[in-house]
């Protein structure tokens, strides 16, 4: 009898499922006593902005520039433009943007983003070089 069956990989999820089942019983529930009310217009604007922008990016990568891309991108960006000032006016915003007014945070984010993009681009080009130029398999290139 072989112990290396393909179904045994599903046993890896058993400890995680046990934690998920026992967690609500052992861990106390915490509610913020000073939490504000949910702002439904802000939630609606966010739900209109984010999926529209994501769909526009995915659509342009598969179908190219067309009317559907332009409409979804404009729709997503317009909802986002309405969302951001609304958050600044509310007493209990859905997304607190006040930390972005701090110069230290803006400076750190402004230096972090180019570094993150450079690292991601470098990793992409290394993977492409290993697979396309050196003709390695994805498994060997990843290893």
Report the C-alpha gap between 91 and 29 in whole angstroms.
Answer: 26
Clarify whether residues 114 and 89 are in a common domain: no
Q: Would you say residue 27 lies in a domain?
A: no
Clarify whether residues 87 and 127 are in a common domain: no
Reported as a single tens digit per residue, the pLDDT across 7-63 is 777 888 889 899 889 988 888 888 888 878 888 999 999 999 999 999 999 999 888
Beta carbons of 52 and 79 less than 8 angstroms apart: yes
Clarify whether residues 44 and 85 are in a common domain: yes
Task: Indicate the pLDDT class of residue 4, thresholds 50, 70 and 90.
Answer: low
Clarify whether residues 94 and 140 are in a common domain: no
**Nearest CA-CA partner of 85 in 111, 113, 49, 51:** 49
pTM for this model (two decimals): 0.61
Contacts of residue 77, Cβ cutoff 8 Å, sequence gap at least 6: 49, 53
Q: Would you say residue 30 lies in a domain?
A: no
Q: Would you report the helix, strand and coil content of the chain in percent, each value rounded to 5?
A: 75, 0, 25
Average pLDDT taken over every residue of the chain: 90
Contacts of residue 38, Cβ cutoff 8 Å, sequence gap at least 6: 94
Domain extent for 106? 102-143
Q: Would you say residue 136 lies in a domain?
A: yes
Clarify whether residues 90 and 112 are in a common domain: no
21: which 2 tokens?
């089942």
Reported as a single tens digit per residue, the pLDDT across 78-112 is 999 999 999 999 988 999 899 999 999 999 999 99
Clarify whether residues 58 and 94 are in a common domain: yes
């Amino acid at each position: 009898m072989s112990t290396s069956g393909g179904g045994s990989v599903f046993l890896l999820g058993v400890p995680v499922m046990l934690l998920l089942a026992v967690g609500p019983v052992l861990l106390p529930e915490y509610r913020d006593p000073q939490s504000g009310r949910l702002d439904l217009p802000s939630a609606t604007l966010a739900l209109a902005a984010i999926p529209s922008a994501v769909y526009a990016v995915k659509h342009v990568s598969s179908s190219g520039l067309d009317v559907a891309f332009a409409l979804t991108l404009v729709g997503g960006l317009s909802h986002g433009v309405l969302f951001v000032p609304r958050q600044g006016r509310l007493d209990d915003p859905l997304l607190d943007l006040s930390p972005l007014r701090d110069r230290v945070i803006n400076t750190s984010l402004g230096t972090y983003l180019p570094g993150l993009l450079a690292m991601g681009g470098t990793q992409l080009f290394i993977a492409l070089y290993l697979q396309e130029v050196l003709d390695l398999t994805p498994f060997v290139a990843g290893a």
